[in-house]
Structure 1
Amino acid sequence: MHTLAQLRAGELSGITRLDLSCGLTDFPREIFDLADTLEVLNLSGNALSSLPDDLHCLSRLRVLFCSDNQFTELPECLGQCTALTMIGFKANRIVDVPGGALPPLLRWLILTDNQIETLPSELGERANLQKLMLAGNRLKALPPSLSQCHRLELIRIAANQLTELPQWLLTLPSLTWLAYAGNPLETEADAAALQATPLIEWSALRLQEQLGEGASGVISRAIWQRDDASLQAVAVKLYKGEMTSDGSPLHEMNACITAGLHANLIRVLGRVHGHPDDQQGLVMQLIDPSFRNLAGLPSLASCSRDVYANDCRFSADVALNIAAGIASAAGHLHQHGITHGDLYGHNILLNEHGECLLGDFGAASFHATTGTAQTQALQRIEVRAFGILLGELLARINSGLSDDRRRGLETLEQRCCQADVLGRPGFSEIIEVLENL
């Protein structure tokens, strides 16, 4: 994190990224001294409510973060920034989004956790739009012009006031990751599954080291003293209350429970009961330390694509084990009326043999289990996510793949990613193809 003193002293000349979080109420004019090089500007965590009209003078600016400030309107000056592709205004007080505030090359827009009721039709005129984060607002509809955004791959509309998913949304050729939980349109979680989940007293849990932290909560290793006095090592996830980019953490918890048991899902042992701060949580199986994440999160440059380590390589058998396991887990979820919404390599844990677990239900949504056209479309959108994952695995196979098997996998990848949503195979067919290979 940089300081205002450094900026004013001219110590930051030539930098490409500036991070300032120091209670700013006004935009420091000294930032314009960096115009020749500045590409990423992060002003999150301040008290700003406006930006200067001449912001476009930062002619190289590609990325702007202004989350956790006091904006009530998306600033119109953004629309004049010709190089700007990514905008993040999470957790402000934004009510209005003027069409003129959307820059021409907009690729990634984050407006999570605001008070937005409508979006401008100009949003659909941004042909490069690839990632759209709108969870935690007051939207009752999406602008029909978004049907023109044929590059849109990820959209988060959870925790709004939508009463239906527009038909055009389900036919977008590139849509891959969709989260819509917490809207009136959503099918409710399985109440019987929630009620059947054992309650585990907080007093029976002894938390140890933290294993990880995400947007929705903190995971820690713990020792659980069971009713018979035996001790079991477990993982405990305590959920945060605030809205995430995917939606509500409590929806995530419900989805984890409703998913039930599957060899490629992390097993839920019970719900935390009696936490002194009434915090919600789950007690889950403890994953063997030999498991690691398949990939890293998307970067600012990759936008909606995971980042893999340069040396990430697999044998054909390991890659096929991963693909078969994830296809089986996703098919299981669909049978239970759940779309994962975030089927990505960074949400997959695996070991050296290709044994894998699909985690992170933060973007999961519920749908009808009957075979309606909408259900089929929602499931086939997720099939495209699997197709992208399959392509990423194929690109990293370094041994054991015959020409015939490669052609078979490439054909399956193409079918999963085809533009015709309903023309994609379902997971039962995908599993059969993988087994034959």
Structure 2
Amino acid sequence: MMQTLQQLRSGQLAGAVRLQLRGGLTDFPREIFDLADTLEILDLTGNALSALPDDLPRLHRLRIIFCSENQFTELPAVLGRCPSLTMIGFKANRIVSVPAAALPPQLRWLILTDNRIEQLPAEIGRCTDMQKLMLSGNRLSALPPELTHCGKLELLRISANKLSGLPEWLPAMPRLAWLAFAGNPFSEAAMPPAASISWGELHILHKLGEGASGVINQATFNGEPVAVKVYKGAMTSDGLPEQEMAACIGAGTHPNLIPVLGTIPDHPARLPALVMPLVDPGLRSLAGPPSFASCTRDVYADHQRFSAEALLGIARGVASAAAHLHARGIMHGDLYAHNILNCGTGKAVLGDFGGASRFEPGSALAAALERLEVRAFGYLLEELLERCEEELPLVRALANDCLRPAPATRPAFAEALARLAAA
């Protein structure tokens, strides 16, 4: 819940663990230091700040800071001296420079999406606890090789930069499981052909949901119920809307994917949009997205359990969909339970292509990217097995193989699917 500067100054927020202030702030309110003994999460997103005070480390319990949508041109060096800071979010600023001193060694999660960064310091390799690094929408032409020292890195977003290729060492990182790189010079590709559906042919009924990249409405087209996704046209944490659209169209038809019926060339606000079949309303997300605490792992309901039949149905469906995508030169990039729709009895649909990237099928890079994504599938199997009503030793063995630190020793999706069929 958002608080006000007046509440802070009056002492109403004494003892607060979390503080969120918005309202055109141009200077860091000194009254925040009155919370030094309790404050753990500070959110100053949506202000006009360009600097943080030199004595910020007085907030000795501060674990998480968000200063997105402000006016910073440099990541403040003082962040590196904050003793408990593990998560930093400075999305959508004007940041050009990332000083080495700004990176606390205990950092786990760094969000610098949608800035103007051309280079990362080699010292990022000192952040050996880093699990999540989000750099989409910058001007990076290379990644520092010292990033290989971040052996715990699991999620990396580098879409919409100026990279001429992926470094060979990147897909070989032992724990990397979720990677998005679309919209770089080496990965740009023409939009696949798709049917055109005029806005006037659609009858919009009501909003179904909203995500980082767009709004989904229920509509009718030729008398049939459909879903219409209208993209916001802005950079998301994963990348660019047009890259997501291209991946959705390029994915083609598969029983465990949502097909595309067509694109809308004449949206009234000139926004990109897709028309898709309306999914079964009985389908629900398998889990919730990661929390601050879980960082890279999805959050399941406490009571959630799966029968062996349901687990195998979900696993087979997702493995089949992933094998289909990789054969078409598409890496999903966000293969997570929260992006899987499930009816509770084993039917599964893999959705949300916001992190998807395209590559040349059959290349050495293609094989490396598949083994990278297989690790994400291994995490999914591990999570399902933790909540299964029965022990499934063959699936447990497959999960362990998918999670091997050496990517080249992991099975491909086709092998995983064959092993699941025999389980």
**TM-based fold match above 0.5:** yes
Question: Of 348, 372, 379, which aligns to 1:381?
Answer: 372
Residue in 2 that maps onto 1:254? 246
Residue in 2 that maps onto 1:148? 149
Q: In the TM superposition, what are the counterparts of 1:3-402 in structure 2 within 5 Å? A: 3-186=4-187, 188-189=189-190, 191=191, 194-195=192-193, 197-224=194-221, 226=222, 231-370=223-362, 372-398=363-389, 401=390
- The one-character-per-residue Cα deviations of 1:311-345 (angstroms, maximum 9, x if unpaired) are 11011000100000000000000000000000000
Q: Which ranges in structure 1 are unaligned for 5 or more consecutive residues?
A: none
Alignment size in residue pairs: 422
* Farther off after superposition, 109-118 or 203-212: 203-212
In structure 2, give the amino acid aligned to 1:220: N
In structure 2, give the amino acid aligned to 1:345: A
Deviation at 1:68, TM superposition (A): 0.2
- The one-character-per-residue Cα deviations of 1:366-405 (angstroms, maximum 9, x if unpaired) are 01112x321111111000000000000111111xx3x5xx
SS in structure 1 at match of 2:383: helix
Query: So what's the TM-score if we normalise by structure 2?
Result: 0.99
Residue in 2 that maps onto 1:409? 395
SS in structure 1 at match of 2:366: helix
Deviation at 1:12, TM superposition (A): 0.1
Deviation at 1:409, TM superposition (A): 1.1
Residue in 1 that maps onto 2:418? 432
Are the equivalent residues in 2 in contact too, given 1:187–1:368 (CA < 8 A)?
no
Q: Distance in 1 between matches of 2:167 and 2:225?
A: 46
Q: Distance in 2 between matches of 1:120 and 1:96?
A: 9
Q: Distance in 1 between matches of 2:135 and 2:189?
A: 21
Residue in 2 that maps onto 1:419? 405
In structure 2, give the amino acid aligned to 1:25: T
SS in structure 1 at match of 2:187: coil
- The one-character-per-residue Cα deviations of 1:26-59 (angstroms, maximum 9, x if unpaired) are 0000000000000000000000000000000000
SS in structure 2 at match of 1:124: helix
Deviation at 1:162, TM superposition (A): 0.2
Deviation at 1:273, TM superposition (A): 2.4
Cα RMSD after superposing both structures: 0.8
Q: Distance in 2 between matches of 1:149 and 1:171?
A: 12
Query: So what's the TM-score if we normalise by structure 1?
Result: 0.96
In structure 2, give the amino acid aligned to 1:411: A
In structure 2, give the amino acid aligned to 1:386: F
Q: Distance in 2 between matches of 1:275 and 1:407?
A: 51
Q: Which ranges in structure 2 are unaligned for 5 or more consecutive residues?
A: none
SS in structure 2 at match of 1:329: helix
Q: Distance in 1 between matches of 2:187 and 2:234?
A: 20
